[in-house]
Amino acid sequence: MAFIVQKYGGTSVGTTQRIQAVAQRIVATVKAGNSVVVVVSAMGKTTDGLVKLAHEISGNPSRREMDVLLSTGEQITIALLSMALQELGQPAVSMTGAQVGIVTETAHTRARILRITTERIERHLQSGYVVVVAGFQGVSDTEDWEITTLGRGGSDTSAVALAAALHADQCEIYTDVPGILTTDPRLVPEARLMEEITSDEMLELASLGAKVLHPRAVEIARNYGVTLVVRSSWTDEPGTKVVSLTPQNRSLEGLEIARSVDAVEFDTQQSRVGLLRIPDRPGIAASLFDQIAKEQVDVDLIIQSIHEGETNDITFTVNRRSIACAEAVATSILPNLLAGFTPHPDAIPEVVVNPQVAKVSIVGAGMIGRPGVAAQMFTILAQAGINIQMISTSEVKVSCVIESFTETTVDELCHRALHALQAVFEVDSSPTPFRQDEKIGVHGGSQPYPVVRGVALDMKQVRLAIRDVPHRPGMASQLFQLLADHGISVDMIIQSQRCHETNTFHYRDIACTVAETDGEMARSVLESAMTNLGYGAVMIDRAIAKVSIVGAGMVNHPGVAARMFAALSERQINIQMIATSEIKISCVVDKSKGVEALQAIHQTFHLAGNYPIHIPS
Ligand code: ADP
Ligand code: ASP
Ligand code: MG
């Protein structure tokens, strides 16, 4: 007998007929000898409907009342599904989040789960009941017992958290697609189903816009080693398994907030190459990284930020062993990149190299949706007197490149940084792991994983550019702390390489992306601190899309970035920003080109399957 948590999403319970079909599936699972806890979403588009109602009354409804309102959607489904089960002769009982004891922080509309009381559910299970729990909602740990919600899409998180707390054997997420696909089938109907994916990869995909799983659900599965399966509620196909490589023995107290950072990683053997003031047009990144891949040089971080005018900078890091080769390629390709381009006399393109750089990263799924963590890292480095040269972020990693320009060696700087970070985050540090493809081959399947697993598109971000930020320790820290203090999560953070000099002061631009819904607030918060912090201007660009590729095998395969950039350049899509981590590459492009970019990249990596995916309406 197994103990299974099943979660059914909105479409799966969209009508009373669908609720009856779901009830039958649950009964079949029970008859097969299993104990079942069910988590459900609101029916169909109920939550969207409730949001719309609220906005008909108020342009800025209170977050507390939004929670009271939105939590009603799931309460309808639990009652109806329990009735449908009872009709089939299956004892069932519905429970709201508060009745279960899903205790959260008070942060309305985006609360994190602190702990889950399991006694009441266990008692019902022992009496032979199926327990039907309302997803997406909880109750605060304050004396007012506030109703809270976890954020849109949060029922997945309720289900995986329950599976962790109850030590279930498996958590099954039932949805309207056959499982996790190489990309969103609504944009690419030939997207292919994956049999398995690692939770590391899924975490990136989910946070980069693959809506099929709530990123926090993947985070919990990864942290607690929950066996997670995503499958269709319309068929009996096995779906996709999300595998966690290192199930850890963690306390269930502070479930979603216990630890924001799991590890500090470093690499003191890096070198940096920057191509400054090169033309900002399609094809530049593609030619550069194609040439570098031909020399078999493995590139680590790639960063391209934004600049005023018609030029841009691309900076990348390589292992120090390869620096001579990387520099030679960059220098020899520069004239080709400049073909037909007349540089401004004050802005002559050039290749700059620093052989002595180190990369320090904080890693941890607990950073998701916690705006203060990146800011905290920048503050710690600033307090240690370290000036950050480059920043590259992913949802689960923040990497800072540091360099030495004085007699202090980069090793010394790096160790100073590690000491400080370790002390504050209370974790060990270790060299950046060099992932091998074989390591991920836990799937036992006959086929090796493709290097690129999935492609995701996020059209719900805006970009903020902060111009002329004084280049001194502490600036990134102050800027991002400011946003964090207002609850704004920053996604990509890119500090440009280029420095302007005015009266011997150095200035740099910093760009970042934030959720569309936070854009206006982020802009006004940053603008209000402009004079105080001494930067020049804050600009917002809403017409952006972020397209990303994810794959744990990318590290050992030079040329993946070049192929992605080439797919964009063939369609004349200009890349505005680039940020990479070991297992993902993200490019910001014009919003109107987002879908085309996704389709081009999906095609270039041959990810399509043989049949279009059917999505029930
Ligand atoms: P549910 O209501 O069941 O939670 P969601 O609408 O939240 O379902 O998530 C399922 C949807 O996620 C699919 O219909 C699909 O359009 C979208 N999606 C985006 N990226 C992917 C992907 N990589 N694999 C599968 N589905 C995806
Ligand atoms: N009903 C909620 C939403 O639409 C939660 C969920 O379905 O996961 O966001
Ligand atoms: Mg969902």
Q: Which domains, from first to last, does the chain contain?
A: 3-243 (3.40.1160.10), 263-604 (3.30.2130.10)
3-state secondary structure of 426: coil
Name the CA radius of gyration of the chain, rounded: 25
CA dist 193 → 215, 474, 613 (Å): 19, 45, 9
What average pLDDT does this structure show over 19-35? Answer: 98
- CA of 73, nearest ligand number: 2
Is there an atom of ligand 1 within 6 Å of 212 CB? yes
CB neighbours (10 Å) of residue 342?
7
Is there an atom of ligand 2 within 6 Å of 42 CB? yes
Residue 438 has pLDDT above 70, yes or no: no
Gap between the Cα atoms of 172 and 220, Å rounded: 14
What average pLDDT does this structure show over 488-508? Answer: 79
What average pLDDT does this structure show over 319-324? Answer: 92
- The residues with which 392 forms a beta bridge, in sequence order, are 399
Is there an atom of ligand 1 within 6 Å of 616 CB? no
Residue 496 has pLDDT above 80, yes or no: no
pLDDT at 608: 94
CB neighbours (10 Å) of residue 542?
11
Gap between the Cα atoms of 392 and 580, Å rounded: 7
Q: Give the tens place of pLDDT for each residue, 226-267.
A: 999 999 999 999 999 999 866 667 889 989 887 889 889 999
563, containing H or E segment: helix 560-570
* Closest residue by CA, ligand 2 atom 9: 152
3-state secondary structure of 362: strand
CB 66 within 8 A of CB 97: no
pLDDT at 248: 62
Gap between the Cα atoms of 440 and 205, Å rounded: 16
Is there an atom of ligand 1 within 6 Å of 217 CB? no
Residue 521 has pLDDT above 50, yes or no: yes
Per DSSP, 396 falls in state T
Helix axis angle for 63-87 and 46-57, nearest 10°, is 150
Per-residue pLDDT band for 445 (boundaries 50, 70, 90) equals very low
Per-residue pLDDT band for 553 (boundaries 50, 70, 90) equals confident
Determine the atom of ligand 2 nearest the C-alpha atom of 136. Answer: 5
Gap between the Cα atoms of 409 and 430, Å rounded: 19
pLDDT at 503: 76
- CA of 212, nearest ligand number: 1
Gap between the Cα atoms of 74 and 132, Å rounded: 10
Range of lowest pLDDT (119-133, 143-157, 470-484): 470-484
Is there an atom of ligand 2 within 6 Å of 14 CB? no
Gap between the Cα atoms of 235 and 184, Å rounded: 19
pTM: 0.90
pLDDT at 477: 87
Gap between the Cα atoms of 351 and 371, Å rounded: 35
pLDDT at 372: 83
Location of structure tokens 């391209």: 304
pLDDT at 443: 40
Gap between the Cα atoms of 317 and 169, Å rounded: 43
Q: Compare 432 and 260 and report the one with higher pLDDT.
A: 260
Q: Give the tens place of pLDDT for each residue, 286-316.
A: 999 999 989 888 888 898 877 777 888 899 9
pLDDT at 439: 38
CA of residue 211 to ligand 3 center, whole Å: 6
Is there an atom of ligand 1 within 6 Å of 186 CB? yes
55 — alpha (psi -120 to 50), left (phi > 0) or beta? alpha
- To the nearest whole percent, how much of the chain has pLDDT over 90? 65
CA of residue 563 to ligand 1 center, whole Å: 26
Gap between the Cα atoms of 101 and 118, Å rounded: 8
φ/ψ of 524, rounded to 5, equals -70, -35
Residue 194 has pLDDT above 50, yes or no: yes
Determine the atom of ligand 2 nearest the C-alpha atom of 42. Answer: 1
Per-residue pLDDT band for 556 (boundaries 50, 70, 90) equals confident
Is there an atom of ligand 2 within 6 Å of 152 CB? yes
3-state secondary structure of 309: coil
CB neighbours (10 Å) of residue 295?
12
